[in-house]
Structure 1
Amino acid sequence: MFDQWRRRRAIQRVRPGDGRPLKRFRWWQLLTRSLFYLPPDAGAGRPAEYAVDVHHMRSENEGGDIGAHLYRDGRRQARSVLPAIFTVEGGEIQVAATTFGLRRCHFVTGDGSERQLVPDPRSGEGRRARLDRERPLLSRAIGAFSLLVLLVAAILALPQLVESLSRIPPVADRWGVFTSPLRLPAWFNVGLAVVAAVASTERALRLRYNAWLDDA
């Protein structure tokens, strides 16, 4: 996930927290906030509970970067822009985001083993995880439909994107203009973009991510 250069950068970006208490998750924050927990493990030498809090609509700096906040037993211990690496007892917590939510919030031990942190049950990720536990068939069907939507959206959008890029004067002069075989009305493209965004958001609630598909 993190190569050595990015890893060093992520660790260097961590700043100390101010000790403020962790605020309770509210229902209106379903799509704007992610909250995950790492339970204590005395056997692994980790007596405290950690929490990672991410507000997707709140900038951490003037550049508009999203930040993650690390809480230890309910008090803010550290903060960092994303992607972030927080060092804790027995390993580190790695956090990374996409346009539509988180794609990673994992605890990684020194030997390289990892596991996802536990989402707050009131959060969007927590509610999606509960659906997966209680209605696994429905959950898989929703996941498959989200993937299908993104595949169809990418297939329909790619020729139109190539045509738009080919009309840039330097590109057109060198390679000519590509004519897309698809002529979709504007309202259809707008609707397709909205549906694809919803599908990517659903995938983000499960921390599923594919660079080519979700970014496209």
Structure 2
Amino acid sequence: MIKEWRHRRALQRVMPGDGRELKRFRWWQSTFRALFHLRLTGHDGRTTVYAVDVRHWQNQSSGNVKAHLYLDGRLHAESKLPAVFPVPGGTVDVRMSGFGLKRCHYVTDAGDEFQLVPDPDSAEGRRARLDRAHPALSRTISLLSLCVLVAALAVLVPQLAEQLTKPEEIAQRIGTFTSPIDVPKWGYFAIGVATLAASTERALRLRHSRLLDGAAG
């Protein structure tokens, strides 16, 4: 029920585009722009090309990030994130995390889901190209990112539990907890940098976990 309500609400946020032309992806936009493409073939055999353009670090703190949907190179519609754009045969679902996009999928009316293809010049496109050209290296990087986030969670959860049980009124009721891991100040900085890198790498593959990436954010 809640999922359906959110879906309808997202559809209501969609506004018509002004027809402006889609600008090509520039290398220096890799840190703040995501661009994905979708080709759909109609029953008449005609192919239409959709593109989802998100400047995902633009006004992110204020919640004003928008997704722009282009049709054959012209702005067709736009919406605040999370966005659901109606397209022939289904919808395009766009969502983001604190590190980039976590979802950019074509969802058919039958419920099948397909991730859109990242622009080859984007950071997501370069990561996908690495996966195709060097699959073993790609899997190693993916595993390393996962291990970093699991390790960070294993370190930070006991630290958080220790801080939460320090107040006297809480300690008197449930006792105090002392973390078995003593983290120096520089250690928190190193953990923060490592988790940022790991979650960003996962965002380039549109991988997201509420427990791991959500905690890191």
Under a length normalisation based on structure 1, what TM-score does the superposition of the two structures give? 0.92
SS at match of 1:22: coil
Deviation at 1:65, TM superposition (A): 3.1
Matched AA of 1:100: F
Unaligned stretches of 5+ in structure 1?
A: none
Query: 1:70/1:169 Cα in 2 relative to 1: closer, same or farther (>3 Å)?
Result: farther
Q: Map residues 76-155 of structure 1 onto 2, 5 A cutoff.
A: 76-155=75-154
Provide the rounded CA distance (Å) in 2 between the counterparts of 1:31 and 1:44: 39
Bigger CA drift: 198-207 or 16-25?
A: 16-25
Provide the rounded CA distance (Å) in 2 between the counterparts of 1:19 and 1:169: 62
Match of 2:57 in 1: 57
SS at match of 1:192: helix
Provide the rounded CA distance (Å) in 2 between the counterparts of 1:64 and 1:82: 8
Provide the rounded CA distance (Å) in 2 between the counterparts of 1:40 and 1:179: 57
Query: 1:32/1:112 Cα in 2 relative to 1: closer, same or farther (>3 Å)?
Result: same
Match of 2:42 in 1: 42
Deviation at 1:69, TM superposition (A): 0.7
Query: 1:194/1:185 Cα in 2 relative to 1: closer, same or farther (>3 Å)?
Result: same
SS at match of 1:211: coil
Deviation at 1:24, TM superposition (A): 1.1
Number of residue pairs matched?
Answer: 214
Match of 1:10 in 2: 10
Match of 2:19 in 1: 19
Matched AA of 1:83: P
Query: 1:106/1:171 Cα in 2 relative to 1: closer, same or farther (>3 Å)?
Result: same
CA contact (8 A) 1:44 1:90 kept: no
Identity %: 54
Deviation at 1:44, TM superposition (A): 7.8
Deviation at 1:140, TM superposition (A): 0.4
1:113-164 residue CA offsets vs partner (Å, 9 max, x unmatched): 1111010000011000001111000000110111011111110111111122
Bigger CA drift: 37-46 or 204-213?
A: 37-46
Matched AA of 2:101: L
Deviation at 1:40, TM superposition (A): 3.4
Match of 1:211 in 2: 210
Match of 2:73 in 1: 74
1:11-69 residue CA offsets vs partner (Å, 9 max, x unmatched): 11111112111111111111211100001313487632110011112138x94332111
Match of 2:181 in 1: 182
Deviation at 1:165, TM superposition (A): 2.3
